[in-house]
Structure 1
């Protein structure tokens, strides 16, 4: 579990380290905001989306630890490649390879973790694992802030090697030794499908069709949450710098510390609340608390957009808490709704949907809205706030079908 959590930390550090360096990279390589939005979102999402479902299906059949090892080697090497890139095209290729490597992690890891814990502890286990997202984001921001402080003192890595390159290469290299450790992870024996069970008779996708109301509400609802969350992660640092005049070093330090405290607290609290609900017979607890998180996200991002002075910091703390709150619950609701033999497939479908709405659309929509004349913070609030409100309604709608599915699965 510790190795998987560490790998998840580094995967999100590799994925998000680019976000703090939007302006330095744009200046050095003569890129536009639109090109940076493509690199942050669609470039990463391209192969991430194409490969997530096939790799999820493979994780139901092949050793999951070996798949995670291969993915870790690929995305770590690709992050180093991005640190050495000298053009938009090279960064584009590097970001696509980062997405390809990371596509396998969630489907394989979710199934591994769920197979080690009873139902009433799955939400906490997956939330603790998913907390790696925010540890990785926070560490990347603090590391980036340190590079800006170094730059202001006049320290450089060399005449042709900018500080953002040093950070990206360091973050990528940190993942290489972990790839060697994960292959030693022991996998439990996978249960065979019950002879006559619905999944055995009709297959995984027929199971999804039979329970389509829940999966539509879950996949689109948490997909819209991912859109809001990815927009917040991608553009909050630059919005603070442009709209409020904060230095990027200050932004990285503040946001990094908030993610390491409030974001980690949010996801851990959410998992504990959901597990408490499930242990008391409330099977839909992950959807209920997921809806609470998306509602809190919509309110906090709107407050951030209009806030000034001390209110900005308070809104940032609330935003960091609620932007993490639903993440582990999305994974646990999936694992609790699917038989063990199709968990990788279902998780791959979830990664596909969150990739389409989150990684691809979220970061790219904000600069398009801002291009109409809105301040960047207001554009961020428009995108993330609307997505979070719609997500809240869908997650509430998905509570009843999850109760029905959960009751049926407990009979086998």
Structure 2
């Protein structure tokens, strides 16, 4: 694959990730009108924003990842992009909690196909010394997409409300508009992206039992790694999901003001954090610091906790915005190292499935569990919409500190695993690999 084609492919993947986050995050901005029109509680909204999306996203990520380990990955990516885009547009036709729940489930199913296939594709085409930086570029799509969802979603909602579309609610039209570009992107990827010629699929692919055996032999590392990054996902997704509600309820921002403020913060601080994280890991790795991913991620987790708590507990709007920007910058650091480590530490025939396992933990624990816990605390413990900041601080702040501690604890087992991987990389046939793992 030529350098130019590689860059074009990475840009298309990043745009796909961008659109996926627009389609999943637009719901958080539309919390007010959706709750008003469908009469939803905070817990029900958390189910739509977290559980519904993560249900099939987490479960079907494994068979889709297994397909990515064995079959050409571009068709899998294209199918996922088109499915989640159609499902997002279908959200605009919903008029009840359960119909919207079902469409959000289908959005999650489509997006489950993207990340494991792209991780595996990148690992096959990018040298290890540039892996973290390349993955960081891919992850920029998540923050650009979320930022665009806030930035243009607020403007779009205001525009639709002003023009009084009588057939559908304004939030329904927003879903239909943001889902449409993914259809065209899927067609472009189908026509331009092809499986790399350098990829070698083993005659006997790694079976699920082999992958499970590999996990068990290194269970200390994988348990600490996945649990640690799941807790950090709780922090990041809590800010994604509930900060719009915090800003509207406590600081009385309009949808337009909120979209502009959060959109700029997510794009600038999120992209800056992901890029800085990948850059630091690549630099430190080249200098011989083998545990650079854990060091960078854990340091950022500790750094995010204090400004996070300040941002959701202060009544000063300016202080809330500034501290949220700092917290979000550091909260975005863990995304590149979480994927980078798995691409390094897992043999190629099993990478996509281990990536799916990581995404499963992030979806169930980080997106669904964290969001549901915040909604439940607000509904059943504090019994007040105005207490949303306290709920966020308790859940996201605690998760950030605990996640950082676990990543530091997994450093010794990471070294043991990497030493073993150095031996495994010299083994070319799967029977030998099965004996080693």
1:408 is displaced (CA, Å) by 3.1
Q: Does 1:256 align with 2:263?
A: yes
Aligned with residue 402 of structure 1, among 407, 414, 418: 414
Aligned with residue 104 of structure 1, among 100, 113, 117: 113
Q: Secondary structure at the match of 1:300?
A: helix
Q: Does 1:306 align with 2:316?
A: no
Q: RMSD in angstroms over aligned alpha carbons? A: 1.9
Q: Is the 8 A contact 1:194 1:200 kept in 2?
A: no
Q: Is the 8 A contact 2:62 2:353 kept in 1?
A: yes
> Taking structure 2 as the reference length, what is the TM-score of the superposition?
0.89
Query: What is the match of residue 297 of structure 1?
Result: 304
Equivalents in 1 of 2:392, 2:313: separation in Å? 11
* Superposed counterparts of 1:2-21, under 5 Å: 2-21=11-30
Query: What is the match of residue 232 of structure 2?
Result: 225
> Taking structure 1 as the reference length, what is the TM-score of the superposition?
0.94
Q: Does 1:116 align with 2:128?
A: no
Q: Write out the 4+ residue segments of structure 1 that deviate beyond 4 Å after TM superposition.
A: 192-195, 199-202
Q: Is the 8 A contact 1:277 1:285 kept in 2?
A: yes
Equivalents in 2 of 1:143, 1:365: separation in Å? 29
1:191 is displaced (CA, Å) by 3.7
Q: Does 1:177 align with 2:184?
A: yes
Change (3 A) 1:200 1:42: closer
Query: What is the match of residue 136 of structure 1?
Result: 145
Equivalents in 1 of 2:106, 2:41: separation in Å? 22
Equivalents in 2 of 1:282, 1:191: separation in Å? 30
Q: Does 1:358 align with 2:366?
A: yes
Gaps of 5+ in 1: none
The range that moved more, 238-247 or 398-407, is 398-407
Q: Is the 8 A contact 1:131 1:268 kept in 2?
A: yes
Equivalents in 2 of 1:159, 1:309: separation in Å? 35
Equivalents in 2 of 1:201, 1:378: separation in Å? 43
Equivalents in 1 of 2:407, 2:200: separation in Å? 30
Q: Deviations over 1:161-187 (max 9, x none)?
A: 222222211111110011112233132
Alignment: residue pair count? 407
* Superposed counterparts of 1:64-79, under 5 Å: 64-79=73-88
Q: Deviations over 1:352-392 (max 9, x none)?
A: 11111012112111121123226111111111011111101
Gaps of 5+ in 2: 1-9, 427-437
Q: Secondary structure at the match of 2:141?
A: helix
* Superposed counterparts of 1:9-88, under 5 Å: 9-88=18-97
